[in-house]
Amino acid sequence: MNKKQLKQLIEAALFAHPQPLSVQRLHELFEARGVSLNGVRSALKSLQDDYNDRGIELVNVASGFRFQTRPEFGELLAGLWQERPTRYSQALLETLALIAYRQPITRGEIEQVRGVTVSSNIIKTLQERQWIAVVGQKEVPGRPQLYGTTAQFLDDFNLTNLSELPSIDFSDETTAETAITERDDLHD
């Protein structure tokens, strides 16, 4: 198949498939028709360019490539749905942040940092969203479960990997003042 056909097929596949598709998966799909890995890559690149100036964009997240509506249209499109998107509580976001930044982490360790009991509802909600998962057990008395974030978390927050989240660790040498300046810069 020629370049144009491959590009059309990959485009159709990405639009039709509800989950992101990896380069490998796309390659497997069309391998039998003599499509190379590089062929897939260059088609993706070309598609990304095509959608540069449109209402949707082709992005690369943790589990592969997907088409999505531009984030800046969020509010304008919200009217499509009856329900307003859920806003998560500060407690949930802090718990999620602890799991994302300090994983693997136990519930007890989360409670220590936040100074407050972690409600079972928060853990349940995070698990139902498939943003966190039990990744093991800590070898201390009671063998508490260790939590970590999932690929679904990265996908849902538009990330390919955790390091894309801004760092929250300021080195010990950082004075309070420079730390605040840095923080402010990050916020701009």
Partner 1 sequence: MAEQQSLPLGFVRGEPVIEKPEDLYIPPDALEVILDAFSGPMDLLLYLIRRQKFDVVDIPVLTITRQYVQYVEMMKELKLELAADYLVMAAMLAEIKSRLLLPKPPQEDDEEDDPRAELVRRLREYEAIRHGAEYIDEQPQVGRDMWLSEVSSNARDHVTTAPPEVSLEDLTLAFSRILNQIKLNAHHHIQREQLSTRERMSQILQRLQTQPYLRFGQLFNKSEGRAGAVVSFLAILELVKESMIELSQVTPMSEIHLRRKASFDEQEATETTD
Q: Which 8-37 residues touch a second copy, going by CB under 8 A?
A: 8-13, 15-17, 21, 28-30, 33
Number of neighbours of residue 140 by Cβ within 10 angstroms: 9
Q: Angle at which helices 37-50 and 23-31 pack, to 10 degrees?
A: 120
28-47 binders of partner 1 (CB under 8 A): none
Question: Among 3, 12, 37, 49, which residue sits at the site for partner 1 (rule: CB under 8 A)?
Answer: 12
* Residue 46 is a binding residue for a second copy (CB under 8 A): no
Closest approach of Cβ 155 to a second copy, in Å?
16
The CA distance from 69 to 59, in Å, is 10
59-88 binders of partner 1 (CB under 8 A): 66-71, 73-78, 80-83, 85-88
CB 58 within 8 A of CB 65: yes
Q: Could you give the C-alpha distances from 43 to 5, 30, 61, in angstroms and in order?
A: 10, 12, 17
Number of H helices, E strands in the chain: 9, 5
DSSP label of 58: E
141-170 binders of partner 1 (CB under 8 A): 142-146, 148-149, 155-159, 161-163, 165-170
Read off the amino acid at residue 54.
R
Question: Among 37, 77, 134, 179, which residue sits at the site for a second copy (rule: CB under 8 A)?
Answer: 77
Pick the stretch among 53-61, 107-115, 164-172, 175-183 that binds a second copy (CB under 8 A). 53-61
Q: Which residues bind a second copy (CB under 8 A)?
A: 7-13, 15-17, 21, 28-30, 33, 54-56, 67, 69-70, 73, 76-77, 79-80
